[in-house]
Structure 1
Amino acid sequence: MSSHLSVQAAELPQVTGENERISAHRIISAGGGITEILYALGAGQQLVGTDTTSSYPEAATKLPSVGYQRNLSAEGILSLAPDLLLISPVAGPPTVLKQISAAGIPVKTIEEDYSKEGLIKKIRHIAALVDKQNQSEPLLARLSEDFDTLEKTRGHSDRRPRILFLLTVSQGNLLAAGSDTPADAMIQLAGGSNAMNSFTSYKPLSTEALITAAPDIILCTDLTLNSVGGLENLLNRPGIKLTPAGHKDRVIVMDTLFLLGFGPRTGQAALDLSRQIQSFSVLKSGL
């Protein structure tokens, strides 16, 4: 993941401060979290297209799609005549982004830092780009309230349950989330410990590694659960039942963008995850 980011960062203009501003009336967003932020800032009416990860709010799903953020369509983007393209760091391919930039359309990469502070910076950057700084202040205040509530609810227990985040890729193969991922950040925000923090990004999960990790809880998204054919099929995957999580059916399933988007609802998502983690502790006689 990091190598992809470094290549792209060298080729495209970056958001480096909070004072850059573009007079944009036709915006395309490639990144679900970015799209959410634009709507929360009151810039939804300026959007003319989104990518397939932009599943919230519902209005975003009604706009023309320019494809998956990692495999954007130059033709689709240019046909919508945007005057600004906002993308996540994983958006691409680089050849398409170069083509868009060469057509005179500003392409701005919104950097990610999976933390409360990083999210605040992300919102401020987007607000500055689309001239919505005034609208960002109430949004940031609500976000701060969400994180304050999370802090009070999460408590300060020394026991941090080991949580394994699973993600499906092609043909239903499972990957585990390591450090430097939104899943890892959300687990920590919610008061858990990533059971697979010895590596970065995502890696294939072997049965042996799964059993050794011994997660107390398995976390996945609704899309992952659907791709493996439901909860029963997930629990019957090799090695799952040999873990504390699998043995006691401790699985938490959350909406993909809600959990991983790092947008305006992130504080709420972390609070939701924290409460579900705690419910396992209380209802099932500890971990």
Structure 2
Amino acid sequence: MKSREPLIVAVVAALLFASAALIVYFIVRPAHQATVTISGLELSPTPTNPPPTITPTPVTRDAASFPITITDGVGRRVAINALPQRIVSVGPGLTEWVFDLGVGQQVVGNGASDVYPDAAQNVPQVGDERNPDADKIAALKPDLVILSDNATARDAMTALAGKGIATLLFAPADITGVIAEGQALGQALGVSATANALGRAMQNRVDAVRAKVGGQSKRPLVFYEVDASNLDAPLTVAPNSFVASMILAAGGSNYVNATALAQPTPGSDNLDAALAPTQVISGSLVAVSLSDLQQRPPDIIILGDASVGITADEVKSRPGAWQNLAAVKNGKVYPIDDALLHPGPRSLDGLEQLNRMINGE
């Protein structure tokens, strides 16, 4: 019996050592490894998500410039008492600006359509740019809120002001307004130097497009398709829309101009109803009759509905008069990512793409 004691002690010691090693392993193991094999025994612990890591803000922010008063995009003077640390931005372009300015880590809420950059998808949603939810916004305890201007946003702004929350409204009408928006946001976020550098780079790109447009002999007529669910009355953009301003800046002529607009009639929001040749559907959308497209054929068709699967081939296969439109017969039907035509930093990419399409590059 005594001769076996050393063996038993050795076995017990080995088991204790293996147990200790196993415990230490699970304490220090990499978070991504889920399966371990020790002495032929496979263990599959329940994976756990590592705690979120916080990295330093990638820009230097100027806290000393606060308190500050900002003029927002609709001319309101808004006081911001201290460097914002909890920001809610609602609107794709606005959220893109905050991230481009290097302050994305301070975003605690945004809109349902604010999906760029990818990091913007990891914060709570508080409605969308047309319908921001003031209660959800206030619950996040922001010290600065940035909204796209509309009637609902103004109601939200009033409610938030009652809680002492500073709110900025923006609604740039064109690419120049987008650059100005970035400058104002740079001031509001304490990153004016970054905003100024981005603004100069954007202006250089705008100037390059303008130089090319200045050399054009004529402006082609551009039909920007928003929705052609009703092939007899496809939707396009109104002349006062941001997209129309981009078409103009890129060297084209928007299909619908101010003098072509008919007065809205009862039932005009029903696309199956009889429509005038050109009919206002909403503030920024217009329905154009197919007969109008035949009588005044566009030189170029740009597919703003490409994001829902509409292609040039699909347009070519449409029945009747569609196949006889000059833009279709001449192969001048181009898809575009409509996200590039929201007012925001990436709208410069959209402007350059439009310019290449219009110039046939």
Give the TM interval when normalised to the shorter protein. 0.7 to 0.9
5+ residue gaps, structure 1, are 1-12, 281-287
1:212-243 per-residue CA deviation (whole Å, 9 max, x = no partner) reads 3311111132xx23446544444417643232
Report the counterpart of residue 222 of structure 2 in structure 1: 163
Contact 2:108 2:142 in 1 (8 A): yes
1:3-152 equivalent positions in 2, closer than 5 A? 16=75, 20-23=79-82, 24-90=84-150, 92=152, 95-116=155-176, 118-152=177-211
SS at match of 1:85: strand
Whole-Å separation in 1 of the counterparts to 2:245 and 2:219: 14
Contact 1:22 1:130 in 2 (8 A): no
Q: Comparing both chains, which one has the higher relative contact order based on Cα–Cα distances under 8 Å and sequence gaps of 6 or more? A: 1
Amino acid at match of 1:162: L
TM normalised by structure 2 equals: 0.64
Report the counterpart of residue 214 of structure 1 in structure 2: 297
1:79-110 per-residue CA deviation (whole Å, 9 max, x = no partner) reads 32222211112372654444333333222211
Whole-Å separation in 2 of the counterparts to 1:145 and 1:111: 22
More helix by share: 1
Whole-Å separation in 2 of the counterparts to 1:206 and 1:68: 31
TM normalised by structure 1 equals: 0.79
User: After TM superposition, what 4+ stretches of structure 1 lie above 6 angstroms from structure 2?
Assistant: 169-173
1:219-234 equivalent positions in 2, closer than 5 A? 219-221=302-304, 224-227=305-308, 229-234=310-315
Whole-Å separation in 1 of the counterparts to 2:165 and 2:178: 26
Aligned length: 264
5+ residue gaps, structure 2, are 1-71, 262-282
Whole-Å separation in 2 of the counterparts to 1:66 and 1:237: 42
Contact 1:87 1:108 in 2 (8 A): yes
- Give the Å deviation of 1:69: 1.3
- Give the Å deviation of 1:28: 1.0
- Alignment RMSD (CA, Å): 2.9
Change in Cα spacing, 1:18 to 1:141, as seen in structure 2 (3 Å) is: farther
Contact 1:29 1:85 in 2 (8 A): yes
Report the counterpart of residue 252 of structure 2 in structure 1: 192
Change in Cα spacing, 1:157 to 1:211, as seen in structure 2 (3 Å) is: same
SS at match of 2:125: coil
- Give the Å deviation of 1:134: 1.8
What percent identity do the matched residue pairs reach?
26
- Give the Å deviation of 1:123: 1.5
Matched, 1:250 2:309: no
Whole-Å separation in 1 of the counterparts to 2:230 and 2:128: 18
Higher Rg of the two aligned structures:
2
Contact 1:164 1:219 in 2 (8 A): yes
Report the counterpart of residue 344 of structure 2 in structure 1: 263
Whole-Å separation in 2 of the counterparts to 1:170 and 1:74: 34
